[in-house]
Structure 1
Amino acid sequence: MAKTNFQYEKRQRELEKKKKAEEKARRKLEAKQHKGEEGDASPAEDSGEVAEPESDAA
């Protein structure tokens, strides 16, 4: 009967964990960027502030 190659299996598990971590970090970054894009579109509406028009009294 053949012996199990534990080093190979461990390396494969480590690579899978690394791949999952990178995917999670990528999704988290995309979500953060997506949320930032929505917030930049109308900052006055999000904070409840009213934008005042500029006057030409100079």
Structure 2
Amino acid sequence: MAKPNYSFAKRQKELAKKKKKEEKKQRKLAKKQDDQEMIGEGAALEDDAE
């Protein structure tokens, strides 16, 4: 019976964690940009109303 390769399993776990963290970072950046666009549009609408 082959012995388990713990270093491979650890590396795979680290890669999965890094990928998940990067995806979360991208989602936060996208949300931040959307929020800024909404604020910009709101300010433009307020300027037009005056």
Q: TM-score, normalised by structure 2?
A: 0.84
- Distance in 1 of aligned mates of 2:12 and 2:37: 37
Count, aligned residues: 47
Larger radius of gyration: 1
Q: How does 1:1-58 map to 2 (within 5 A)?
A: 1-43=1-43, 45=46, 51=50
Structure showing greater relative contact order (alpha-carbon pairs closer than 8 Å, 6 or more residues apart): 1
Q: Which runs of 5+ in 2 are unaligned?
A: none
Q: Taking every aligned residue pair, what percent have the same amino acid on both sides?
A: 49
Task: Please give the per-residue CA displacement for 1:27-48, whole angstroms capped at 9, x wherever unaligned.
Answer: 0000000010000012274xxx
> What do you get for the CA RMSD once the two structures are aligned?
1.6
- What's the TM-score once normalised by structure 1's chain length? 0.73
CA distance in 1 between counterparts of 2:42 and 2:14 reads 44
